[in-house]
Chains A and B, each alone.
Chain A
């Protein structure tokens, strides 16, 4: 099936998503809740793009969960889509106690979208850490509820140990019934830490290093 991305034609398999088409065309679409290893989730809205359908209607869609249609015209620079994506990331940042560490995927998205801090001030998450596991650490205050860890646990490992908990500002992630990794069904594979875009779940060994390099990352973004 043929679609057009930012003016160039690209051929994709039936069922391919708009995000896949965009990446096939070499367009850089930032994502936050997306991970190739898992089914698309469509939660974060950072991958928004403009779409001009064959019927002439212009819309903004989440590219990761929208399937391509024949003749679709995609604009990854659509100003409306970019403005909303930036606002979404600003809202995410507004709840965090500090700017995201430089090496994280969230920091990369912030850079890609050119977000400069957050226009909104308000409540930020208080530090809540769990370092009972010998390797894996929770930094709950950094959770942005993207659901990647929960889906990695389900769709990559199949342990079903992690759960999304709470609502609104209190939304977060828990192992088991907030029992910690060790007393849940966790098999310590670390897929959650691998996919986490903010270090809300990370490795204990990396926490120590993050402390050592904080000076470099504190100034960004």
Chain B
């Protein structure tokens, strides 16, 4: 492109959601002035959304961290990199000597590149000597990862977004793609306008429900019953693929027995979804030649989220809708690189490629490469880290690019944990709710300022190229991790992000053939063979499990961890809005704030009328663990008995309300079912109409 308005144009990959739009970043005088979609982007095909296209001014915000900060006498002060690194080496060295390496924990950032996440997990494992490393997939799609591995083998989508256009039908459950993943949302909407038969399942009437054949609104926490009910009807009406079941799966017998218990009347009783709607939905999916299932955090962020994700796999397996163009299971990953951070082994129990830390052969391969002895003991997951901090056994944390004090559940507990630590390092681009508790803050780089790779929700590894330089004395994350590791006595022998990718490829079978040259403009979908062949569709011939067979899991519906009762009569569901992104650290520092400058609580007109709440009123929302105040918005998009809000604004601090209930297999918090009490905030006395007052 040759445009006189710009100094440079750099092709890169979007740093917002997990869709992985390819972008062209146009710069002038080391500032991004415009971003346009790459016409050849495989996921976005010449389109992007208001976050990817417009929300880039944060990169030159005056509030960027531009120098290291260290705490002295209770206050943070600017410091040199040498001072900051020295402080880290001294403090972490002391804690390790006194309490052992497992008294230290780190979080890798799913906003950062694969190379950064690799360096972070190597730092924790090799420089410090612990497996206490985790990433934010813990609080989003860890149940999906668990389920896909248990049922099919690999922790990733079975196909690509291109399968949406190839499908005859699709189920979207627990996701609101037109807001959370706008470009995929637009692709689904266009497909629906051209005849894709859509089933939407969500307690909210999401925009795509308007384009669906049928929309199901189950009570939060009853997804398992829905998936079993859909399978019951498909099984009863002969919409199953017996040949596929016999040749390629195991466990069907127990599943068949379980399904008998979930006829539509039973499911209606559990979920509130009319039996006729469930029947209709089952037929839309079952009768389609090719069909996809797409899901989001409405599936996973539940007490039994991992089981529901397994039941999604079971339904697809029973109907043989997997491993072909148009028949894919597509979890919509939240962060730009949450697939990658987990692939890289920024997890307490696995090295890259999801190989267990106690697998002797794997551990020895890493020891040989890194030249240090590595722990075989699985580390702490994020919620366990906070528990250990409060209990006093975890003494230090190194939090890289994550605002746990705003985004993790049970904020009060998280803050208590952060306050309990002896030493907290934060590596970030802005001060956040979490950095308030930091002893050292390291100024890092945004995605527009560094080079590496992100892996999107299609398992597609795509190049990220620096368009501008980090501001002030901020460094790239890889430089910082290398310096910290060196200060701790372990040399990360990487001159460039490409060196890191060479090590990843050497130590990770699924990345064997990955090189930057091969990634080119359209990336590669792992597993990538040594010769560079990638895998847009998994499981065409066999599953990645013993014997090559998939496992059809038979898991009954169980009640969620929280439920409405007399004291807390409404159920709160949380999620995302189109204009903002997660903690809002980036989008709140752009003009997206003009498009949406505060959050609100969605409430059904029936509930609003009963509680004397009007549109725009300030309301108090109280749960078993916390209380917030937020503006009410009365809308029929939400079902009676439920309320909805997002968590983009620190002023609202929605996660004060969320308790500690979590997925039974992965500890993913139950953000989607919180019993609350909602009532109007008392009005100013002057606004209350006076009754007959005393004579003046």
Query: Contact residues of A with B, CB < 8 Å?
Result: 36-37, 102-103, 134-135, 155-158, 182, 187-191, 194, 203, 205-206, 209-210, 213, 216-217
Taking CB atoms and an 8 Å cut-off, the chain B residues in 34-93 that contact chain A are 34, 36-37, 39, 45-50, 53-54
- Sample of 13 A–B contacts (CB below 8 Å): A37-B47, A135-B591, A156-B186, A187-B49, A187-B50, A187-B178, A187-B578, A188-B50, A188-B595, A189-B48, A189-B182, A205-B34, A213-B5
Q: Which of A134, A158, A194 meets B591, CB within 8 Å?
A: A134
Total count of chain B residues near the partner, CB < 8 A: 29
- Nearest A residue to B192, CB-CB: A158
- Rounded to whole Å, the gap between the CB of B17 and the closest CB of chain A is 14
Q: Is the CB of A134 within 8 A of B594?
A: yes
Across the interface, B186 reaches (CB within 8 A) one of A36, A103, A189, A217, namely A189
B49, closest chain A residue (CB): A189
What is the 8 Å Cβ interface bit string for chain B, positions 268-312, against chain A (1 contact, 0 not)? 000000000000000000000000000000000000000000000
Instruction: Report how many A-B pairs have Cβ atoms within 8 Å.
Output: 72
What residues of chain B lie closer than 8 Å to A182, measured between beta carbons?
Answer: 595
**Min CB gap B528→A, angstroms:** 29
- Enumerate chain B residues within 8 angstroms of A187, measured Cβ to Cβ: 49-50, 178, 182, 578
Closest residue to B53 on the A side, CB-wise? A190
| Alpha-carbon distance between A104 and B211 when the two chains are bound, in angstroms | 36
**A158-B193, A188-B595, A190-B50 in contact; A213/B4 too (CB < 8 A)?**
yes
Which A residues touch B189, using CB under 8 A?
158
Q: What residues of B have a CB within 8 angstroms of the CB of A217 in the complex? A: 4
- Assuming A135-B53, A216-B4, what are 4 further A-B pairs, CB within 8 angstroms? A102-B4, A135-B54, A194-B53, A213-B5
For B186, the chain A residues whose CB sits under 8 A away are: 156-158, 189
Complex alpha-carbon distance, A155 and B47, angstroms: 11
Q: B3 contacts which of A103, A135, A189 (Cβ < 8 Å)?
A: A103
Q: Which residue in chain A gives the minimum CB-CB distance to B50?
A: A188
Alpha-carbon distance between A205 and B50 when the two chains are bound, in angstroms: 14
Q: Does B665 contact A (CB under 8 A)?
A: no
In the complex, which residues of chain B have a beta carbon less than 8 angstroms from the beta carbon of A103? Answer: 3-5
- B376 at interface, CB cutoff 8 A: no
**Closest chain B residue to A202, Cβ basis:** B34
CB-CB nearest in chain A for B579: A188
Contact A188 B54 (CB under 8 A): yes
Please report the C-alpha to C-alpha distance between residue A13 and residue B484 in the assembled complex, in whole angstroms.
Answer: 58
Shortest Cβ gap from B335 to chain A (Å): 20
Q: Which residue of A lies closest to B208 (CB)?
A: A158
Would you give the 0/1 interface string for B1-32, flagging 1 where the beta carbon is closer than 8 Å to chain A? 00111000000000000000000000010000
Task: Check B36–A194 contact: CB distance below 8 A.
Answer: yes
When chains A and B are docked, how far (Å) is the Cα of A26 from the Cα of B621? 64
User: Can you name the residue of chain A whose Cβ is closest to the Cβ of B592?
Assistant: A134
- Asked whether, in the complex, the Cβ of A37 is within 8 Å of the Cβ of B46, the reply is yes
Cα(A188)–Cα(B48), bound, Å: 10
B243 contacts A by Cβ under 8 Å: no
Inter-chain CA distance A192–B357, complex, in Å, is 50
Residues of B within 8 A of A37 (CB): 39, 45-47
